[in-house]
Amino acid sequence: MPDARPLYDWFGATAVRTPDAVALDTAEQRLTYAELAGLVERVAAGLARHDAATVGLCTSGTLGGYVGYLAVLRLGRTVVPVNPRSPLVRNRSVLEQAGAGLVLADGPSAGALRSADGEEPWAMPIRLLEELLQGPPATAPAPDRTDRPAYILFTSGSTGEPKGVPITDANAAAFLGCAIDRYELGPDSRVSQTFSFTFDPSVLDLFATWGAGGTLVVPEKRELLIPATYARRRALTHWFSVPSVITLAQRYRALPPGGLPDLRWSVFMGEQLTLDQARAWAAAAPRSVIANAFGPTELTVLCADYRLPADPRDWPDTSNGTVPIGTVFPHLDAVLLDGNGRPADEGELCVRGAQRFGGYLLADHNTGRFLGPAGAPVEPTARQVPADHWYRPGDRVTREQGVLVHQGRLDRQVKVRGRRIELGEVEAALRRCPGVTEAVVFDVPRPGEGVHLRAVLTGDADRGVDLRGEVARLVPDYAVPESYVWLPQLPLNLSGKVDHRALRHAVVDEGC
């Protein structure tokens, strides 16, 4: 029978089993499972006086954020994280779409939920976590086991309207049970915490760690810029992050060879991990297993991964210079379909199974995202999509040497002189050029003449490399960018990924 234990119980069961083990290690204090559970009970008891079934959570990395997240789950309610750095209008849209009746916020974040005149911009109360934490010790009532999502996260929509992704206890349990075993998490594990609550890999950080009885190690902000110091000083055994951290650390010369000697596992996710990035990390963490993982929010954090061989001489040579995403987890079904809906070695990766969410919060957002059991396109009319339907993440994947390689997004295709181009292919070619560290390519409209390609690069612009000549060796002539912009660094969004929208505005819309 599938594991459908409540998300809270991955923490709560450990708190009962090993109450004196350290659950949370912050820069200011260390809390045992018993101590953290006591704070959760206190906050949950105060929260229980509100009848909101869905609760927003707006925090900025404080202890109260972790307690608040657990307190909402402790009562069997749905948590909706929002980021205090996000625009007020977006947070308001997210909370209203989710039907939140209350928002928990820490002191530093509460101001982000109020309009300029100090009034709350929606008709829901805001409770400060600090006030609830200062209440007397208390025991919360039994959880409400009504069938509802454990959490709702919001992804960007192509129309600009955020799309709500409800994830159930059963979805999370299917993932966590796999992840704990797969990444060898246990009571002696000390795990990095690099993801914000609005980014779904945070569920791996928190609940896989706590479900295994390990310690979640929360960094100071500056420690993320110096991962070798963070990992060494805080005795980390497991590192989970986006690959951009590697590039950032290299920029600050904070990833010396051998600088991460105690790491056992390093799992990267959220964007493509290049082989060059992996080599730099392998040199710094010679005893660590390095894995590249893939998975959209809709498939509950991760659904596939690839473990690099211990000897770099055995690493694969992929078509685009990235580490493969490997194979889909064995408890999930996957199929690779070409443009005609037929199984192929190159095409769109579609997945179904216990980790697949049941459909977007708004039924309209399901349009174009699902295939029927036989692989034919369907347009679900209800919010809840049948379990035998395939989810379409919109990713183009190839099968190379028996494993899957991520080639980019299907929705970044453009045409130049009538020829279809995947921008990810051009970016991969640019990354192979001497002096180039990162590359993003945009299509730039040219009135009456279609579009041309503009490349945005980081690295050594003074090496005098003939970029056009170098790229022309790797892609057709119509795919060679006509213009190049060098930047000191690429802008990142709140999830730590390259912010394509902001970058396009800077280098295309503003005519840079």
Of 38-47, 110-119, 250-259, 473-482, minimum mean pLDDT range: 110-119
Q: How far apart are CA 335 and CA 247, in angstroms?
A: 33
3-state secondary structure 242-281: CCHHHHHHHHCCCCCCCCCCCCCEEEECCCCCEHHHHHHH
How much of the chain, in percent, has pLDDT values that exceed 90?
66
Q: pLDDT class for 266, splitting at 50, 70, 90?
A: very high
From residue 71, give the alpha-carbon distance in Å to each of 2, 19, 25, 195: 25, 17, 19, 20
Pull the structure tokens for residue 397: 């994947």
Q: What percent of the chain has pLDDT over 70?
A: 94
- Cα–Cα distances (Å) from 11 to 42, 129, 203, in that order, read 16, 20, 12
pLDDT band per the 50, 70, 90 thresholds, residue 448: very low
Range with the poorest average pLDDT among 207-216, 268-277, 290-299: 268-277
Mean pLDDT score, 454-477: 87
- 267, 293 in Cβ contact below 8 A? yes
Indicate if the pLDDT at residue 510 is higher than 90. Answer: no
Label residues 28-63 b or e (16+ Cβ within 10 Å = b): eeebbbebbbbbbbbbbbbbbebebbbbbbbbbbbb
Question: Is 284's pLDDT higher than 70?
Answer: yes
* Nearest CA among 33, 11, 35 for reference residue 143: 11
Residue 43 half-sphere exposure, CB side, CA atoms within 13 Å? 28
Task: Please state, rounded to an integer, the average pLDDT across all residues of the chain.
Answer: 90
Helix (H) or strand (E) holding 444: strand 436-445
Cα torsion 113, 115, 121, 125 to 10°: value is 50
Q: Which helix (H) or strand (E) holds 436?
A: strand 436-445
**pLDDT band at 438; cut points 50, 70, 90:** very high
What does the block give as tokens for 416? 């130049």
d(CA 78, CA 292): 30
As a whole number, mean pLDDT of residues 61-81 equals 96
Q: Which one is predicted more confidently, 511 or 37?
A: 37
Tokens 């045992």 sit on residue:
32
| Cα gap 458→262, rounded to integer Å | 31
Tokens (6 digits) for 339: 């443009």
Give the residue with greater pLDDT, 412 vs 321.
321
Q: Which residues fall within 8 angstroms of residue 362, CB to CB, at 6 or more apart? A: 97, 163, 164, 383
Two tokens, residue 383: 């919010």
Run of H or E including 98: helix 88-98
Geometric angle at alpha carbon 11, from 7 and 15, rounded to 5°: 150
Least confident range from 119-133, 240-254, 323-337: namely 119-133
pLDDT at residue 157 greater than cutoff 70 = no
Residue-wise pLDDT for 349-385, tens only, equals 999 999 999 999 999 999 989 999 988 888 877 789 9
Distances, alpha carbon 310 to alpha carbons 119, 179, 288, 404, in Å? 57, 20, 9, 19
pLDDT score recorded for residue 95: 94
What integer is the mean pLDDT of 204-217?
98
Q: What is the pLDDT of residue 379?
A: 82
172 closest CA partner among 70, 297, 268 = 297
Please give the DSSP secondary-structure letter assigned to residue 21: S
- The pTM assigned to this predicted structure is 0.85
Cα–Cα distance for residue pair 344/334, rounded to 1 Å? 12
Which residues on neighbouring strands pair with residue 273, listed in sequence order? none
pLDDT number for residue 158: 46
Q: Is the pLDDT of residue 417 over 70?
A: no
How far from each other are the two terminal CA atoms of the chain, in whole angstroms? 57
pLDDT at res. 205 = 97
Domains and CATH numbers, the chain: 1-172 (3.40.50.980), 332-407 (2.30.38.10), 417-509 (3.30.300.30)
Asked if residues 359 and 390 have their Cβ atoms less than 8 Å apart, the reply is no
The closest of 126, 75, 132, 131 to 100, measured between CA atoms, is: 126
Q: Is the pLDDT of residue 418 over 50?
A: no
Between CA 217 and CA 198 the distance in angstroms is 18
Which positions ≥6 away from 47 have C-beta within 8 Å? 55, 71, 72, 75, 102, 104, 127, 132, 140
